[in-house]
């Protein structure tokens, strides 16, 4: 048909070098493939070509091939990405492209991982609570008020943010207590929902979802294919408000939500923060690791061209508490004016640029 | 041998196959009716095709134009379907859609709002008033996520009450059903496999709801994902149910044709609703040349009037770019055939020159994003290259309109959503699918629950049927002499795309049937390499026989219907024939041979007839029917 014609009219197909992880939970390794790639194709096209030629049983999830369903998440050259949204033209012709499964979740086979962790966390997150007494059809909300939650509802549940988050990426032991960025924004979404009848979303995130483990490295925001500002618009406001409420004596007293007792507020301070107090039970992991998935030095180097995984990341510490183990309640009993900073007392803003994990949206282009 | 195969068994009251909008809504209803319910889906929970719907969900809420009502919506739907719709389904759909949409808000959905805080509604091809509830251009995602989260909330209730999330509603994701099992003429269960492990699983249940979506994978250029292999259609046929209207497939007029990374991906109609226009390679806005007489009254004949409509829809006629999809698809096809197409065989869709870049990004965020990332095309700067793409199947399981129960000789089988037939007639209006899913999903789920309640004894799954199902499923793995499933799929797609595509001819259809016959033999011998664990080759090998039987239904029905109507265009019979309007073509299966019968359409009730102008009806009805209509209106006077 016509399309074929114009393919022929475009640049001729070239052979490209791929390394794809093959195996299952008992082990496996990177297999080399030399595959044809045509102009305008994406990595998922190449995987499909492999399936229909030399590797018919190569396992890979996909549905929409349009960046809408979040099924095709893999790690490409060590960076978590949607295979259907990664254009071949973003690689140089002599570049070897490695495709590996999401590192944070158990392997099923080849590029498919067991992502049930996410569905379990989804089930634990309290659902929308409809406002009592408002009949269907009588919901009235202003566009400006729904937009904040709508940003989070753009989420396609690709779980790229979940796989990249260092709290669970190489820390199986944190999984039970930590829901991950996808579910922090779910809590944030409900918190900002104009008609949601619950008002303890933040406290819940803190006490039950492990929000305290997050030290705002922003890696989740970086990989989100929907460009949701997970950290800035979701996590940070949730953290700030929890501090506000803890700080308010009335809320503090009246709050029965803290089932796990005084979960200390974690926050970002610099590496050498003195006096960081941590309770062992809820303390966040002590170091940061974003090594990429493939253990392949070349891939690692490529990944780092985009994102600086090894930058010095601020260590989480608890805020300054008073003798009774609580946040100082008023300015009278506290040694500084105004409320304590949720980021810890010894952080000065703006943070030095090398502490930030920001990558320009067009970084792939170079 | 087979009896030693491990099979996991489950008992449920209602099993819903499919986790798209229709399946989830059905499951919610069955669970609310107190039934133990299973939801089964080929892909992960929340990834079904419904996710991809962009434009919106049609419901006559009248939030933007208060003149809208269910009667107007009903009229538009019948008109769009060229009066071949099951009128009762169209009626129920028009009446119940608003409640179904409002209900979603109580589950937590956040639609875009009007100034006074109600759900905003947008214009869409074929709808007289702004009617589509939407969230930017990701309405399907909102719908499926909302239903998914509602199911989670029901599970949380069960967790509190019974100590287990799965106590009364459980999701089996990445699980494919390959066979329905019958006890006599009653549904007794469903058999399938886990994709992850390749292990078999058997559901014993007296009631099954099919909500498996469509068939588009049989076509080369399609917006549909790998899931759309017509499984539900084929399962129904094999269980003794019937399919209607299988000749009607919707080719979306504006799928991307270039570059290849986005080939088949749709450009939502709202690009046209928001001002986008179609141009040929000569730069001409050609749609004015293609307004059929039936639509002259509603569509503008000059660019000036069309452009005024965006601001003042009450006093101007609509731009012809908003004609129903089949008209637009046909117009594009004609332009391309006349040599006025783009190099890739499409036409240009231009919004860049019509709206400021800022405005385009605000109104069509995910369109913008998608093209920027997938194809490096900036839609605010350059026109898109679009052409017809296989998108939606109007045909499907023949059901009772009120309950969704399948016709034919099987009991306990229900169908809703794209897999069911009749609602959309010969052509679906944009936005009517999402509301269809909700309206008939709820109905099917509710009726499946009461059917299960009303049974005196539970049907039993016969052991030999399970053994046969196991053998059939394992066969491709045990053969090593057959062809690769991927090759067979490509050949099938070539036959359907080239010979049973958007424009059809008798000779080609005959040819297609012969080739499908050959393919049937090759598919029966397909072999898959590798093991049982997450083996896509094996999965495709099993899907092929479904794709094949459904394709045969389409080709046979298309050959028989000697007229052009909606999603069925015959070059050798280019006009609509009122006599054919009274006929549904019904497919059934005997052995593995597809049978085609004719069946009269149900007769519309007088008060519904009275909603239309006589002049309009005259374009669709036979003289005989018109005389009846006149007699009716006579009586009323
Ligand atoms: C790109 C695109 C845009 C669209 N835009 C719109 C729009 O704007 N408005 C509108 O109204 N409609 C739109 N549609 C149409 C609409 O999205 C679909 O018709 C509708 O979502 C179908 O929903 P469903 O519930 O019937 O099935 P789906 O959502 O397709 O779900 C089918 C389910 O069945 C499961 N399944 C299938 N076979 C099996 C099996 N053998 N065993 C187990 N499970 C199985 C699948 O895994 C899946 O979960 C669009 C469609 C596409 C492709
Ligand atoms: S900001 Fe960093 S630590 Fe916090 S959730 Fe995101 S990736 Fe995890
Ligand atoms: S928030 Fe973004 S990265 Fe995380 S799951 Fe959703 S879409 Fe994916
Ligand atoms: S296949 Fe759906 S996001 Fe990639």
Which residues, 6 or more positions from B603, have their beta carbon under 8 angstroms from its beta carbon? none
A139 is a domain residue: yes
Interface list for B 373-402 with A (CB within 8 A) = 373-376, 387
pLDDT at residue B252 in the model: 80
What's the token pair of residue B336? 């391309």
**Between B311 and B62, whose confidence is greater?**
B62
Residue in B152, B366, B536 nearest the CB of A59:
B536
On the question of pLDDT at B272 being above 80, the answer is: yes
**End-of-domain residue from the set A56, A83, A113:** A113
> Ligand 3 within 6 A of A224 CB?
yes
| Continuous H helices in B128-185 | 139-162
Same domain, A165 and A65: no
On the question of pLDDT at B336 being above 70, the answer is: yes
CB contact, 8 Å: A122 with chain B? yes
What's the token pair of residue B607? 């008060």
Do the bridges between strand A267-268 and strand B186-194 make them parallel or antiparallel, or are there none, so unpaired?
unpaired
Burial class of residue B603, CB neighbours in 10 A (0-12, 13-18, 19+): exposed
Structural domain span for residue A212: 116-335
What's the token pair of residue B499? 């010979």
pLDDT at residue A322 in the model: 60
Same domain, A185 and A84: no
What's the token pair of residue B185? 């003429």
Which residues, 6 or more positions from A313, have their beta carbon under 8 angstroms from its beta carbon? A215, A217, A288, A355, A357
pLDDT at residue B99 in the model: 97
**Between B239 and B367, whose confidence is greater?**
B239
Do the bridges between strand B57-58 and strand B420-421 make them parallel or antiparallel, or are there none, so unpaired?
unpaired
Query: Residue by residue, what is the 3-state secondary structure of B14-25?
Result: EEEECCCHHHHH
Look up tokens 């700030």; give the residue: A240
Q: Is the peptide bond before A350 cis (omega within 30 degrees of 0)?
A: yes
Contact across the interface for B486 and A52, Cβ inside 8 Å: yes
Same domain, A210 and A126: yes
Residue in B155, B221, B533 nearest the CB of A123:
B155
pLDDT at residue B343 in the model: 80
Contact across the interface for B486 and A112, Cβ inside 8 Å: no
**End-of-domain residue from the set A82, A113, A144:** A113
Query: Residue by residue, what is the 3-state secondary structure of B258-316?
Result: CCHHHCCCECCCHHHHCCCEEECCCCCCHHHHHCCHHHCCCECCCHHHHHHHCCCCCCC
Instruction: Return the CATH number at A161.
Output: 1.10.1060.10
Supply angle C-alpha A12, A13, A18, rounded to 5.
Answer: 150
> Ligand 3 within 6 A of A156 CB?
yes
Q: What average pLDDT is seen over chain A?
A: 76
**Which phi and psi angles does B636 have, rounded to 5°?**
-65, -30
Rg (CA), chain B: 24
A-interface mutation test, from B21, B50, B106, most A Cβ less than 10 A away: B106
What's the token pair of residue B276? 């986008």
Same domain, A234 and A298: yes
Contact across the interface for A123 and B156, Cβ inside 8 Å: yes
What's the token pair of residue A120? 């379990």
The distance between the two most distant Cα atoms of chain A, rounded to a whole number of Å, is 79
- CA–CA separation, B545 vs A333, rounded Å? 77
Q: What is the dihedral of CA B56, B57, B60, B62, to 10 degrees?
A: -40
* Closest CA–CA distance from residue A154 to any residue of chain B (Å): 8
A-interface mutation test, from B49, B110, B111, B256, most A Cβ less than 10 A away: B110
> Ligand 2 within 6 A of A211 CB?
no
* Closest CA–CA distance from residue B343 to any residue of chain A (Å): 6
Query: B177, B580, B554: which is closest to B394 by C-alpha?
Result: B554
pLDDT at residue A284 in the model: 38
A249 is a domain residue: yes
Interface list for B 195-254 with A (CB within 8 A) = 196, 220-221, 225-227
Contact across the interface for A89 and B226, Cβ inside 8 Å: no
Same domain, A165 and A295: yes
B100-138 burial, b at 16+ Cβ within 10 Å, e below that, comes to bbbbbbbbbbbbbbbeebbbbbbbbbbbbbbbbbbbbbb
Contact across the interface for A127 and B105, Cβ inside 8 Å: no
Q: Architecture of B483-600 per CATH?
A: Up-down Bundle (1.20)
> Ligand 4 within 6 A of A67 CB?
yes
**End-of-domain residue from the set A113, A147, A179:** A113
**Between A1 and B232, whose confidence is greater?**
B232
* Residues of A in Cβ contact (< 8 Å) with B112: 143, 146
What's the token pair of residue B133? 């509830």
CB contact, 8 Å: B458 with chain A? no
pLDDT at residue A129 in the model: 96
pLDDT at residue B223 in the model: 75
* Residues of B in Cβ contact (< 8 Å) with A136: 99, 102-103, 105-106
On the question of pLDDT at B54 being above 70, the answer is: yes
- CA–CA separation, B132 vs B55, rounded Å? 7
Q: Are B583 and B598 in contact (CB under 8 A)?
A: yes
A154 is a domain residue: yes
Same domain, A108 and A131: no
Phi-psi label, residue B330: left if phi above 0, alpha if psi -120 to 50, beta otherwise? alpha
pTM of structure: 0.83
Residue in A6, A65, A146 nearest the CB of B258:
A6
Do the bridges between strand A14-24 and strand A27-37 make them parallel or antiparallel, or are there none, so unpaired?
antiparallel
Q: For residue range A175-200, list pLDDT tens digits in order.
A: 999 999 999 999 999 999 999 999 99
Look up tokens 């809590």; give the residue: A187
Q: Are B256 and B370 in contact (CB under 8 A)?
A: no
Contact across the interface for A41 and B52, Cβ inside 8 Å: no
Query: A307, A303, A297, A299: which is closest to A220 by C-alpha?
Result: A307
On the question of pLDDT at B442 being above 60, the answer is: yes
On the question of pLDDT at A303 being above 60, the answer is: no
Q: Which residues of B are catalytic?
A: 252, 272
**Residue B417 C-alpha from the chain's centroid:** 7
- pLDDT-above-70 percentage for chain B: 98
* Residues of B in Cβ contact (< 8 Å) with A40: 258-261, 375
pLDDT at residue B637 in the model: 57
- CA–CA separation, A158 vs B73, rounded Å? 36
**Between A327 and B30, whose confidence is greater?**
B30
* Atom number, ligand 4, closest to the C-alpha of residue A158: 3
Range from A327-336, B138-147, B235-244, B592-601 carrying the lowest mean pLDDT = A327-336
Q: For residue range A245-276, list pLDDT tens digits in order.
A: 544 444 444 333 333 333 333 333 333 333 33
pLDDT at residue A301 in the model: 52
Supply angle C-alpha A143, B49, B247, rounded to 5.
Answer: 120
Interface list for A 136-155 with B (CB within 8 A) = 136-137, 139-143, 146, 149-150, 153-155
* Residues of A in Cβ contact (< 8 Å) with B345: 1-3, 5-6
Residue in A1, A51, A150 nearest the CB of B536:
A51
pLDDT at residue B346 in the model: 86
Same domain, A135 and A226: yes
Look up tokens 């309109």; give the residue: B401
Interface list for B 105-134 with A (CB within 8 A) = 105-108, 110-113, 116-118, 120
pLDDT at residue B588 in the model: 97
Domain spans, chain B: 3-248+392-463, 253-390, 483-600
pLDDT at residue B366 in the model: 77
What's the token pair of residue A63? 């549905």
First to last CA, chain B: 75
Query: B413, B395, B400: which is closest to B17 by C-alpha?
Result: B413
- CA–CA separation, A308 vs A227, rounded Å? 19
Query: A236, A255, A227: which is closest to A327 by C-alpha?
Result: A255
Same domain, A89 and A161: no
What is the spatial order of strands in the sheet that B57-58 belongs to? B57-58, B132-133, B121-122
Q: For residue range B520-540, list pLDDT tens digits in order.
A: 999 999 999 999 999 999 999
* B284: number of Cβ within 10 Å: 14
What's the token pair of residue B407? 């016709």
Instruction: Kindly indicate the confidence band of residue A337, based on its pLDDT and cuts at 50, 70 and 90.
Output: low
What's the token pair of residue B406? 């399948």
Q: What average pLDDT is seen over chain B?
A: 92
Contact across the interface for B102 and A136, Cβ inside 8 Å: yes
Mean pLDDT of B148-168: 95
Which residues, 6 or more positions from A139, have their beta carbon under 8 angstroms from its beta carbon? A195, B102, B105, B106
Topology annotation, domain B253-390 = Flavocytochrome C3; Chain A, domain 1 (3.90.700)
Q: What is the residue with the minimal CA distance to atom 31 of ligand 1?
A: B20
> Ligand 1 within 6 A of B459 CB?
no
Look up tokens 């499923």; give the residue: B473
Phi-psi label, residue B139: left if phi above 0, alpha if psi -120 to 50, beta otherwise? alpha
Instruction: Give me the number of domains chain A comprises.
Output: 2
On the question of pLDDT at A290 being above 90, the answer is: no
* Closest CA–CA distance from residue A250 to any residue of chain B (Å): 30
- CA–CA separation, B323 vs B339, rounded Å? 23
Q: What is the ipTM of this complex?
A: 0.85
Same domain, A65 and A150: no
Same domain, A45 and A76: yes
Q: For residue range B443-460, list pLDDT tens digits in order.
A: 999 999 999 999 999 999
A140 is a domain residue: yes
DSSP state of B522: H
On the question of pLDDT at A292 being above 50, the answer is: no
**Which phi and psi angles does B459 have, rounded to 5°?**
-65, 155
Q: What is the dihedral of CA B621, B625, B626, B627, to 10 degrees?
A: 160
**Which phi and psi angles does A82 have, rounded to 5°?**
-85, 125
A322 is a domain residue: yes
Same domain, A197 and A245: yes
Length of chain A in terms of residues written = 366
Contact across the interface for A66 and B105, Cβ inside 8 Å: no
Rg (CA), chain A: 23
Task: Quickly list DSSP for B333-386.
Answer: HHHHHTT-S-TTS-EEEE-TTTS-HHHHHHHSHHHHHHHHHHH---TTTS-EEE
Same domain, A181 and A323: yes
Pick the CATH number of B3-248+392-463 from 3.30.450.20, 3.50.50.60, 3.40.47.10, 3.90.1260.10: 3.50.50.60
CB contact, 8 Å: B151 with chain A? no
Instruction: Return the CATH number at A26.
Output: 3.10.20.30
Mean pLDDT of B203-207: 96
Contact across the interface for A45 and B44, Cβ inside 8 Å: no
pLDDT at residue A116 in the model: 95
Mean pLDDT of A138-157: 95
Query: Residue by residue, what is the 3-state secondary structure of chain A?
Result: CHHHHHHHHCCCCEEEEEEEEEEECCEEEEEEEEEEECCCCEHHHHHHHHHHCCCCCCCCCCCCCCCCCCCCEEEECCEEEEHHHCEHHHCCCCCCEEEECCCCCCEEECCEECCHHHHHHHHHCCCCCCCCCCCCCCCCCCHHHHHHHHHHHCCCCCCHHHHHCHHHHCCHHHHHHCCCHHHHHHHHHHHHCCCCCCCCHHHHHHHCCCHHHCCCCCHHHHHCCCCCCHHHHHHHHHHHHHHHHHHCHHHHHHCCCCCCCCCCCCEECCCCCCCCCCCCCCCCCCCCCCCCCCCCHHHHHHHHHHCCCCCCCCCEECCCCCCCCCCCCCCCCCCCCCCCCCCCCCCCCCCCHHHCCCCCCCHHHC
Residue in B165, B258, B373 nearest the CB of A67:
B373
pLDDT at residue A89 in the model: 86
Mutation test residue for ligand 4: of A75, A82, A99, the one with most atoms within 8 Å of CB = A82
């Amino acid at each position: 048909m016509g399309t074929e014609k114009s393919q022929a009219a475009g640049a001729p197909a070239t052979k490209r070098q791929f390394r794809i992880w093959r195996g299952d939970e008992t082990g496996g390794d990177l297999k080399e493939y030399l595959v044809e790639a045509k102009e305008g194709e994406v990595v998922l096209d190449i995987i499909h070509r492999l399936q229909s030629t030399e590797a018919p049983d190569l396992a890979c999830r996909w549905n929409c091939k349009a960046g809408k369903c979040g099924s095709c998440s893999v790690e490409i050259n060590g960076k978590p990405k949607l295979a259907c949204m990664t254009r071949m033209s973003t690689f140089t012709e002599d570049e070897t492209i490695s495709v590996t499964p999401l590192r944070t979740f158990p392997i099923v086979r080849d590029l498919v991982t067991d992502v049930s962790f996410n569905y379990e966390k989804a089930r634990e997150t309290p659902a929308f609570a409809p406002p009592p007494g408002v009949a269907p059809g009588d919901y009235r909300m202003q566009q400006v008020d729904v937009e904040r939650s709508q940003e989070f509802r753009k989420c396609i549940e690709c779980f790229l943010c979940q796989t990249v988050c260092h709290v669970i990426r190489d820390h199986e032991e944190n999984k039970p207590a930590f829901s991950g960025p996808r579910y922090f924004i779910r809590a944030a979404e409900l918190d900002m929902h104009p008609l949601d009848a619950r008002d303890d979303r933040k406290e819940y995130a803190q006490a039950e979802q492990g929000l305290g483990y997050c030290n705002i490295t922003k890696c989740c925001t970086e990989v989100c294919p929907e460009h949701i500002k997970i950290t800035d618009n979701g996590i940070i406001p949730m953290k700030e408000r929890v501090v506000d409420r803890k700080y308010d004596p009335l809320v503090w007293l009246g709050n029965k939500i803290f089932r796990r007792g005084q979960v200390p507020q974690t926050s970002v301070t610099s590496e050498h923060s003195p006096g960081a107090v941590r309770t062992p039970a809820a303390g966040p992991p002590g170091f940061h690791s974003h090594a990429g998935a493939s253990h392949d030095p070349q891939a690692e180097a490529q990944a780092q061209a985009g994102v600086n995984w090894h930058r010095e990341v601020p260590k989480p510490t608890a805020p300054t508490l008073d003798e009774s183990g609580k946040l100082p309640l008023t300015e009278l009993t506290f040694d500084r004016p105004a409320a304590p900073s949720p980021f810890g007392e010894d952080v000065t803003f703006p943070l030095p640029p090398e502490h930030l994990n920001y990558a320009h949206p067009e970084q792939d282009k170079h | 041998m087979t009896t030693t195969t491990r099979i996991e068994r489950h008992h449920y009251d209602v099993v819903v196959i499919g986790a798209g909008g229709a399946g989830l809504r059905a499951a919610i209803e069955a669970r609310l009716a107190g039934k133990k319910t299973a939801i089964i889906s080929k892909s992960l929970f929340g990834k079904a095709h419904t996710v991809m719907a962009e434009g919106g969900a049609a419901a006559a809420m009248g939030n933007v134009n208060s003149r809208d009502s269910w009667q107007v919506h009903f009229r538009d739907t019948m008109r769009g379907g060229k009066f071949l719709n099951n009128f009762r389904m169209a009626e129920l759909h028009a009446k119940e859609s608003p409640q179904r949409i409002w209900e979603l808000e109580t589950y937590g959905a956040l639609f875009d709002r009007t100034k006074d805080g109600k759900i905003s509604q947008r214009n869409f091809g074929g709808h007289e008033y702004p009617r589509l509830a939407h969230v930017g251009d990701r309405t399907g995602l909102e719908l499926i996520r909302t239903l998914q989260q509602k199911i989670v909330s029901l599970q949380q209730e069960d967790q509190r009450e019974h100590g287990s999330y799965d106590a009364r509603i459980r999701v089996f994701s990445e699980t494919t059903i390959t066979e329905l099992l019958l006890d006599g003429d009653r549904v007794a269960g469903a058999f399938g496999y886990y994709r992850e492990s390749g292990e078999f699983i058997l559901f014993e249940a007296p009631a099954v709801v099919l909500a498996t979506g469509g068939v588009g994978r049989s076509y080369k250029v399609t917006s549909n994902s790998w899931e759309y292999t017509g499984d539900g259609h084929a399962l129904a046929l094999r269980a003794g149910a019937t399919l209607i209207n299988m000749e009607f497939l919707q080719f979306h007029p504006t799928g991307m044709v270039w570059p290849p990374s986005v080939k088949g991906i749709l450009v939502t109609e709202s690009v046209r609703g928001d001002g986008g226009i179609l141009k040929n390679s000569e730069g001409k806005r050609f749609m004015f040349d293609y307004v059929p007489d039936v639509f002259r009254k509603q569509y503008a004949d000059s660019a000036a009037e069309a452009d005024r409509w965006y601001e003042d829809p009450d006093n101007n006629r609509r731009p012809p770019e908003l004609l129903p999809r089949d008209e637009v698809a046909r117009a594009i096809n004609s332009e391309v055939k006349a040599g006025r197409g783009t190099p890739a065989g499409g036409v240009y869709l231009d919004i860049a020159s019509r709206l400021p870049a800022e405005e385009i990004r605000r109104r069509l965020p995910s369109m913008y994003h998608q093209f920027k990332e997938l194809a490096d095309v900036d839609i605010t700067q350059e026109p898109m290259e679009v052409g017809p793409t296989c998108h939606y199947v109007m045909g499907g399981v023949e059901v009772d309109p009120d309950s969704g129960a399948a016709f034919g000789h099987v009991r306990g089988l229900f169908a809703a959503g794209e897999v069911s037939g009749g609602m959309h007639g010969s052509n679906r209006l944009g936005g009517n699918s999402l509301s269809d899913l909700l309206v008939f999903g709820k109905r099917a789920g509710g009726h499946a629950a009461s059917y299960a309640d009303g049974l005196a004894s539970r049907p039993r799954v016969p052991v030999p049927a399970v053994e046969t199902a196991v053998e059939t499923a394992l066969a491709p793995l045990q053969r090593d002499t057959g062809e690769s499933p991927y090759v067979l799929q490509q050949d099938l797609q070539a036959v359907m795309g080239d010979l049973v595509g958007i424009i059809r001819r008798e000779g080609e259809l005959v040819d297609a049937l012969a080739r499908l016959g050959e393919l049937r033999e090759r598919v029966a011998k397909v072999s898959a390499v590798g093991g049982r664990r997450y083996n896509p080759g094996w999965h495709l090998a099993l899907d092929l026989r479904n794709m094949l039987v459904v394709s045969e239904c389409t080709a046979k029905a298309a050959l028989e219907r000697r007229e052009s109507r909606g999603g069925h265009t015959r070059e050798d019979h280019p006009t609509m024939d009122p006599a054919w309007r009274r006929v549904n073509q019904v497919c059934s299966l005997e052995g593995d041979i597809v049978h085609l019968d004719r069946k009269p359409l149900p007769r519309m009730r007088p008060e519904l007839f009275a909603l239309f102008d006589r002049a309009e009806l005259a374009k669709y009805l036979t003289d005989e029917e018109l005389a009846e209509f006149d007699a009716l209106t006579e009586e009323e006077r």
